[in-house]
Structure 1
Amino acid sequence: MMAPFKRLFGEGFRVFFLAAGLYGVFAVLVWTGWLGIHAAGGTLRAVPFAMAPHLWHAHEMVFGFPAAALGGFFLTAVPNWTGARAVRHLFIATAAGLWLAGRLAIWYSGALAPAVVAAVDLAFLPVLGAKIATQLLRSPKPQNLMFLALLALIWTGNLLVHLEWTGLAADTLDAGLRVGLAGTCAMIAVLGGRVTPAFTRNAMVRSGRENGLPVSRKGVEIVGVASAIILPIAYLAGLADSVIGALALVAGLAQLVRLAGWRPAWTARQPILWSLHIAFALLGLGYLLTGLAAFGVGSAVGALHVLGIGSVGGMTLAVMSRASLGHSGRALVAPVPVAVAYALVPLATGLRWLASEISGAWYWPGVFGSGLLWTLAFALFTAALWPAFWRPRVSGVAAN
């Protein structure tokens, strides 16, 4: 019985991607269930967390769920980038325990002192950052070290949320949530901007294609990455809505121009590739909608959900499934349930955006439909890749 659990903590992708899948299901089921009770005219006041339910939902989908995906990715990828020794079982188990402790502290925050909740919830990312810093510094490259700065930005956003919850500051919660989401989206702009064209190019070359490979134009890449990184800093600095809106518009346009050069149409028959392209497209679209909302055009809530569901949810699903298959020795072909999950996330995104834009009679069907599709997507991902998390590696397939 101990062997499967030892294996679970043997590689970062196993326990953290499993945790992300399970928590993606749990967190949205709780939120959708709470909304359903209230939409039906009932009330549910006896919740274990101290904050309002919509703030619990926002915090956990900005800081709880993505942190598991980031933990699994970095603890798996960084040793490959640097040639460092693979992370040991004890550290992975400790880090996973810290992540889980943070989720439990938030869940039971109604019975805990706010300072205790903050200390526990804020512990995971510094420990993760310290570990990957020791590995990245073996082969220091600016393009990799920037991930430490992005993790610090995300952590700072969470700190701002807790400062308001502990009463040490006022009016920092909203900025903290936006910094956290924008920081995660910046991570996607950088990481997704690397792996999407690279994996597409690799697949095209393997197919015998020599011409028309993905192209990345340096100027557009710089604008796309820089604008995405500056955006959470702008939220942190409290810049005017017009400045943030302009930055978001530039970031959105830049991501879509980047994507246009990566041959997205070629991936139409390969879900494990088009999932990356769609998630990146939703990153660009989410930025554009955020920019327009800052100038009074469209719903800001709808724009945030395009980023949160479509880009963060879609890219984590795409990357986690690909890494889980590759690093467990399985073929880089999405199982049918995972391919269905890829398609459900953009549909969930569209429904949630419509609910915010149209509202009225469409609001509750859109919200519940979106929640159901998200839950089903991550349930399918978790069930289909369960063997990859728990069982031994099968005979070799490269993880790229």
Structure 2
Amino acid sequence: MTVLYNGPAIFAGSFRVFFFSAALWAIVSLGLWIIYLAAGVELAGDVISWHAHELIYGYGGAVVAGFAFTAIPNWIGRTPVRGGTLALMFGLWFIARLSAAALLFDIQAMNVASVSEILFFAMFVGLAAREVIAGGNKRNFKIIAVFVLFFLSALVANLNRLELLEVPFLPWQTGLAILLLLICIIGGRIIPAFTANWLKKKLVEDGITNMDDQLPIMFNKFDVVVILFTVLTFVLFIAGYSGYTLFVSVAAMVLHVIRLMRWKGMKTFSSPIVLVLHISYLWVPIGFALLALSGMDLIDETTALHAWTIGAMGSTTLAVMTRATLGHANLPLTDSAVLTAIYTAVNLAAALRIMAAFMYDHYDMLIRASGGMWLLAFGLFVLKFGPIHFAKSKL
């Protein structure tokens, strides 16, 4: 039974409030980072850890929550989480972000930031688990397990910055690995599926009826092997086994390239909204390749991390946020100049950041250009999709 919703439009669906807010935070948090780097403004605390934490748990947490409570109702056929419950969850996320911003200006809000963030993730995981269990769809229990890991990672990260827990690794790197694991799992389902849907229509238009060898290979045992090997690589990397990481990173790169080739992305160049999914996933093996190079002391490790954060995370999340917003607002999933600009800008941001590692004489210029492209991508998203997120819901 459809339940009518008459509250504020922004809380009519998780994709509305969390995708919009995630994009705004992507702009604000990077803006503060640029002020620190370029303007020489003295900011308080460990700014590098702050930058990483806010990208992974601030931006990443909002996008995952927005995706989860948009996708889960489709998986299990239940009414979406919205209204007061959604507003409360968003409020916890917002307080954590506001308090985190205050930390940079030496306003003592660490306890508020950490407690709010822990409560946000606890509420997010609890609600997601409740919905999936109520829907009885055991196939999606493994996604909930990954959400639980993300929550535990956030918990450890916050206890660590409160100096209540000491760990022999960087907690935010664990959070990044979990987000990349989600990209590998969910991407492995939606990328070939969306590509197949688009290719079938195109092949029919071209008069091709024998499609068997033209379509992507769907999720199978090979994908399971790739994901398990990816988990092993991340574990070795986070644990600091650099010698082993070098070899497994190369193997992981090869496996992900093979996986990507199975999805027929080379056939999608005429549709940016489909092609961007393949380009976004390409940053996963690029990150492993750069990680291997860092293991040989040829580049800095942060270059590989930025391939994953700006490239894999940034591009994938924007691709998903644009598609989900259009789809759930009952707007056509068609390409446009704005969408192409968004996808181009975020991928240029990743490419320029990596180029900086190889063109050190132009390092500062390339870093600023990368930041500018990131701001452009998310600025265009806010301008294009913000009005849709705030439009009156018909649900």
The alignment's TM-score, normalised by the length of structure 2, stands at 0.90
Asked if residue 64 in structure 1 is aligned to residue 34 in structure 2, the reply is no
Aligned ranges for residues 120-199 of structure 1 at < 5 Å?
120-141=116-137, 143-170=139-166, 172=168, 175-199=170-194
Amino acid at match of 1:59: H
Q: Deviations over 1:93-152 (max 9, x none)?
A: 111111111111212233336444321222212211111111111344554222222223
Q: Percent identity?
A: 28
Cα distance, 1:370 vs structure 2: 0.2
Residue of structure 2 equivalent to 1:312: 313
Contact 1:286 1:306 in 2 (8 A): yes
The Cα shift of 1:234 comes to: 4.2
Match of 1:53 in 2: 47
CA RMSD of aligned residues (A): 2.3
Structure 1 residue aligned with 2:376: 376
CA-to-aligned-CA distance 1:133-190 (integer Å, 9 cap, x gap): 1111134455422222222322333333333322234465x52121011111111001
Aligned counterpart in structure 2 of residue 111 of structure 1, from 102, 107, 114: 107
Match for residue 243 of structure 1?
Answer: 244
Q: Does 1:205 align with 2:205?
A: no
Which residue in 2 is equivalent to 1:276? 277
After superposition, what is the alpha-carbon deviation per residue over 1:251-276, rounded to whole angstroms, capped at 9, x for unaligned? 32222111101111121111110111
Q: How far is the alpha carbon of 1:295 from its aligned partner?
A: 4.1
Decide whether aligned partners of structure 1 residues 142 and 295 sit closer, same or farther in structure 2, where only a CA change above 3 A counts: farther
Partner letter of residue 224 of structure 1? V
Q: How does 1:292-371 map to 2 (within 5 A)?
A: 292-359=293-360, 361-371=361-371
Query: Alpha carbons of 1:390 and 1:32: their partners in 2 closer, same or farther (altered >3 Å)?
Result: same
The offset of 1:247, in angstroms, is 3.8
Aligned amino acid, residue 244 of structure 2 = V
Distance of 2:247 and 2:96 partners within structure 1:
35
Which stretch of the first structure deviates more once superposed, 183-192 or 349-358?
Answer: 349-358
Query: Match for 1:198: what amino acid?
Result: A
CA distance in 1, matches of 2:289, 2:394: 43
Q: Judge conservation of contact 1:341–1:376 (CA < 8 Å) in 2.
A: yes
Task: Give the deviation of 1:293 after TM superposition.
Answer: 1.9
- Structure 1 297/144 Cα, relative in aligned 2: closer, same or farther at 3 Å? farther
- Displacement of 1:37 in angstroms is 1.1
Residue equivalent to 2:254: 253
Deviation of 1:310 (Å): 0.4
Point out where structure 2 has 5 or more consecutive residues left out of the alignment.
none
Alignment-mate amino acid for residue 163 of structure 1: L
C-alpha contact (below 8 Å) 2:92/2:116 kept by paired residues: yes
Q: Which amino acid aligns with 1:269?
A: S
CA contact (8 A) 1:160 1:175 kept: no
CA shift at 1:12, angstroms? Answer: 0.9
Counterpart Cα distance in 2 of 1:253 and 1:140: 37
Name the SS for the 2:372 alignment partner: helix
Deviates more, 1:384-393 or 1:56-65: 384-393
Alignment partners' CA distance in 2, 1:4 and 1:301: 47
Q: How many residues align?
A: 382
Q: 1: CA distance between counterparts of 2:229 and 2:139?
A: 15
Distance in 2 between residues matched to 1:117 and 1:376, nearest whole Å = 28
Query: Contact 1:175–1:235 at 8 Å: present in 2 too?
Result: no
8 A contact 2:306–2:350 mirrored in 1: yes
User: Is residue 2:82 matched to residue 1:80?
Assistant: no
- Aligned residue number for residue 24 of structure 2: 22
Task: Tell whether the 8 Å contact from 1:322 to 1:332 is kept in structure 2 after alignment.
Answer: yes
8 Å CA contact 1:322, 1:334 repeated in 2: no
Q: Which residue of 2 aligns with 1:398?
A: none
Distance 1:394 1:271, change over 3 A: farther
Cα gap change, 1:275 to 1:136, in 2 (>3 Å): same
Q: Answer whether contact 2:257 2:285 (CA < 8 A) is retained.
A: yes
> Is the 8 Å Cα contact of residues 72 and 132 (structure 2) preserved in structure 1?
yes
1:296 match: secondary structure: coil
Whole-angstrom distance in 1 between the partners of 2:185 and 2:125: 17
**SS at 1:256 equivalent:** helix
Conserved? CA contact 2:26–2:378, under 8 Å: yes
- Secondary structure of 1:371's counterpart equals helix
Check the 8 A contact 2:343/2:377 in 1, yes or no.
yes
Task: Return 198-207 or 131-140, whichever deviates more.
Answer: 131-140
Q: Which runs of 5+ in 1 are unaligned?
A: 39-43, 396-400
Contact kept? 2:100, 2:110, Cα under 8 Å = no
**Structure-1 separation of matches of 2:132 and 2:166:** 37
Letter of the 1:383 partner, please give it: L
* 1:226 matched to 2:228: yes
**What displacement does 1:16 show?**
0.7
Mapped contact 1:28–1:371 kept (Cα < 8 A): yes
Superposed CA offset, 1:187-216 (max 9, x none):
100111111110010111233255101114
